[in-house]
Amino acid sequence: MKVSVKVPSTTANLGPGFDIFGLALPFYNEITVEETVIPHLGIEFHVYDEKGEENLYIKNEGEENIVFKAIKILYNFVGQEPDSLKITIKTGIPIARGLGSSASVIVGGLIAANELLGNPSDIDALLAIATEVEGHPDNVVPAFVGGFVVASQEDDGRVIYRKIEWNNDWKLTVCIPDFELQTGISRSVLPETVSYKDAIFNTKRCSMFIEALHTKDDKLMKLALQDKLHQPYREKLVPGLKEISNKIKNEEDIIGCVLSGAGPSLLVISKQNALEKAKDIINETYNNLNIKVDVLTVEIEQNGAYIESNGEEN
């Protein structure tokens, strides 16, 4: 038996909501988990790109793989060992671009494995496992449930979240530069401690962000997207972030530009009538930096991960 799960991309932080805010986007990974017929054959991984070409095959080296790590925790939770599984990933989310590629495969692997096991775990348990492996819930929660979410992992491991309606008048333009930035490197430039002043600044901005969503207040959201906890430190790793942010400050109908997760992708939020202006600014900036970039206007993915097929054949 095998189960295939389709999981959306995510963008996290959205400025001030560091490790708190997350939003699902319409790029997808497909994760298939299959029980092999002969026991004790070990773990097989197959990874395919968007063209269907296999670019990675690993056998019996799954212990360090984040997908297998999550699946093993789930199996152990119900008193079993995942000793004979074939895991296949079809990638549609760019890797190491700050678009939640690792969260998506963790979530997909867990949902598929849970289905194979007869669904012994509810979403709360799956979220706790996914967050334990990923490290924080801002990507895994919207990958599970879609939309915009506020999420927190509590001291006991529980993940508390709420899904909040996004203002459909605020359009999303994703710019994906043609270079990778590993999350570990992006995290390494962050300070171990921050000042009360900066912490309070971000607390105020998070409050403004939620109020702006509820009231659909463009001006308040423009203020709310400011951050002092992570983006100022990451600017040196992400060409284009500071330049684009400065260029759009006085553009009335462009709400703001934020780093997507750990980067290097950026998310520009604007009104419908400013989409072309936003794209022009992005393209001009990266042309000047001599960096190739994909610029895409997208809708929010509201539905989250789902089982695409369940049975002997996909």
Percentage of residues of the chain with pLDDT beyond 90:
83
Q: Which residues of 274-288 are buried (b: 16+ CB within 10 A; e: fewer)?
A: bbebbbebbeebbee
Does a cis peptide bond (omega within 30 degrees of 0) precede residue 264? yes
**What pLDDT is recorded for position 138?**
96
pLDDT tens, position by position, 227-277: 999 999 999 999 999 999 999 998 989 999 999 999 999 999 999 999 999
Tokens of 237: 């790793």
Picking from 65, 9, 7, 8, the residue whose alpha carbon sits closest to that of residue 261 is: 9
Average pLDDT over residues 142-162: 96
Strand partners, 161: 151
**What pLDDT is recorded for position 49?**
81
Tokens of 55: 């670019």
Strand partners, 87: 33, 45
Average pLDDT over residues 47-63: 67
**What pLDDT is recorded for position 314?**
40
Q: Specify the range with the lowest mean pLDDT, choosing from 55-69, 104-118, 182-196, 278-292.
A: 55-69
Percentage of residues of the chain with pLDDT beyond 70:
93
**What pLDDT is recorded for position 51?**
72
- Between CA 187 and CA 211 the distance in angstroms is 29
Query: Per-residue pLDDT for 64 more than 80?
Result: no
Average pLDDT over residues 92-120: 95
**What pLDDT is recorded for position 32?**
95
Cβ neighbour number for residue 34 with a 10 Å cutoff: 19
Average pLDDT over residues 174-202: 95
Read off the pLDDT band of 312 (50, 70, 90): low
Structural domains in the chain, CATH included, are: 2-164+300-311 (3.30.230.10), 171-298 (3.30.70.890)
Measured in whole angstroms, how far is the alpha carbon of residue 270 from the centre of its chain? 20
Counting beta carbons within 10 angstroms of the beta carbon of residue 290, is it exposed (0 to 12), middle (13 to 18) or buried (19 or more)?
Answer: exposed
**What pLDDT is recorded for position 61?**
55
Read off the pLDDT band of 310 (50, 70, 90): confident
Q: Specify the range with the lowest mean pLDDT, choosing from 58-72, 142-156, 242-256.
A: 58-72
- Between CA 123 and CA 110 the distance in angstroms is 10
Query: Per-residue pLDDT for 203 more than 60?
Result: yes
CA dihedral over 172, 294, 130, 237, signed as positive or negative: negative
Cβ neighbour number for residue 294 with a 10 Å cutoff: 12
Q: How confident is the prediction for the chain on average, in pLDDT?
A: 92
Residue position matching structure tokens 């990778």: 180
Read off the pLDDT band of 39 (50, 70, 90): low
Write 248-256 long-range contacts (CB < 8 A, 24+): 248/278, 248/281, 251/277, 251/278, 251/281, 253/218, 253/277, 254/278, 254/281, 255/170, 255/218, 255/221, 255/222, 255/225, 256/15, 256/221, 256/222, 256/225, 256/226
Query: Per-residue pLDDT for 37 more than 90?
Result: no
Tokens of 241: 């972030």
**What pLDDT is recorded for position 84?**
83
- Please state the pTM of the whole predicted model: 0.93
pLDDT tens, position by position, 117-136: 999 999 999 999 999 999 99
- Between CA 236 and CA 252 the distance in angstroms is 27
